[in-house]
Structure formats: structure tokens, C-alpha cells
Amino acid sequence: MKSINYKLIGILIAVMCSASCKLTSKHMSSAIHSPLLIDEVDKGWLRFSLYMLNDTVANGQHEMLYSIRVVNTSDNFSPLRKIVKNIDEYNIAYAYLLNQAKNDFILFSNNDLFYPNYYAVENNYNAFPFEAINFGYSILEKKQRHSDRLIAYVDKVFTQDTIVFNLTPHQFITHK
């Protein structure tokens, strides 16, 4: 009797592990995607790289998530650390990026302006020669059809300039 119980428990564990492995691999294959480099703009010792993290259409909404990396191409210091003279200037510039720069990222599409509904600055503690800023838009799909898209970053921290990234409509969209 004990032998039968152990065999049943062994079979049950094997079935559960098999189902768990299939479930895990299914979620992993659909959830992990590499960022896609869309455009780069060089401004002297700084390079602004725009990456697409997600671009999907579902339930009539076009969800777009992007990341801009501001890269110091001249040395291994953080670009934010390189432009400031002291800790007070660093704190002011970083506070601006965290709290006020959200509306500096403007999506132009079909003669309409859109501001991000998602915004976050990655804190890398000055360990890397770049700063990463993530932002996203959610637009009704009807407003998005057959239009050229641009993202303008009105940079008030690094270069005091407007950086324009060109996007090709629907080139990277995946439908759910």
C-alpha cells in the first residue's frame, strides 16, 4: 500500500512539474523582448538614443513605451554628473528630471500633440556613462492611422536644445 502511495505522489509531482515548466516557458517567451533602437542624435559629446520598449495595439488603444538614453561619449562619467559643477547643481538638475521633465517629451502624430501618460527616470547612481528616461503614450488607434510620427525632447538639462526623433508609423507595431 505504501508503495502505491509513493508511486502516486511521484506521478503527481512529475505532472505538476511538467505543467509548471510549460506555463513558465510560455510566459517567458511572450514577456521578454529586447529594446529596439529607433533613432540616434549626436550633440557633441552627448548621444541621445531612442529605444522602443513596447508598441502594441489592443482594444482600440495604441500603447507606446520608449526609453531615451543620454550617453556621454567622451568618458565614463554620467552625463548629468559631467555637466554640473557641484552637488547642489546636480540635485537641482536631477530633481528637474524626476519631477518636471515629463512634459518635455512630446509626440507629434497626425497634427496632434500628445504628452506622456507614463514617465520614469532610472537611477543608476552615476555608475554608468548614461542616463535613461522612460516614457509612454496611450492613443486611440483611430487618431494614429496613416500618419508620420515624431518625438521631440525639449532638453532643459543637458544641451538646452530640442532633440527630434523620427518614427515610422506602424513599422514596429504588434497586434494582440
Task: Please give the residue range of the domain that contains residue 4.
Answer: 1-32
Q: What is the pLDDT of residue 11?
A: 58
The answer on 159 and 82 residing in a single domain is yes
Lowest-confidence range among 8-12, 96-100, 170-174? 170-174
The band of 56, judged by pLDDT with boundaries at 50, 70 and 90, is confident
56 versus 156: the higher-pLDDT residue is 156
Q: What integer pLDDT is reported at residue 55 of this predicted model?
A: 85
State how far the Cα of 174 lies from the Cα of 94, in Å rounded to an integer: 34
Q: Average pLDDT for residues 113-124, to the nearest whole number?
A: 94
Q: Count structural domains, the chain.
A: 2
Tell me: do 17 and 101 sit in the same domain.
no
Neighbours of 35 (CB within 10 A): 15
Based on the domain organization, do 91 and 148 belong to the same domain?
yes
What is the arithmetic mean of pLDDT over 27-35? Answer: 51
- On whether both 104 and 70 belong to a single domain, the answer is yes
Residues 44 and 14 placed together within one structural domain of the fold: no
pLDDT at 19: 46
- The long-range contacts involving 77-82, CB below 8 angstroms and separated by at least 24 positions, are 77/126, 77/129, 78/124, 78/126, 78/127, 78/128, 78/129, 78/130, 78/131, 79/46, 79/129, 79/130, 79/131, 79/158, 80/126, 80/131, 80/157, 80/158, 81/126
Question: How many C-beta atoms surround the C-beta of residue 140 within 10 A?
Answer: 10
User: In the prediction, which pLDDT does 103 show?
Assistant: 95
Q: What would the mean pLDDT of 55-72 be, rounded to a whole number?
A: 90
> Who has greater pLDDT, 29 or 168?
168
Is it the case that residue 21 has pLDDT exceeding 80?
no
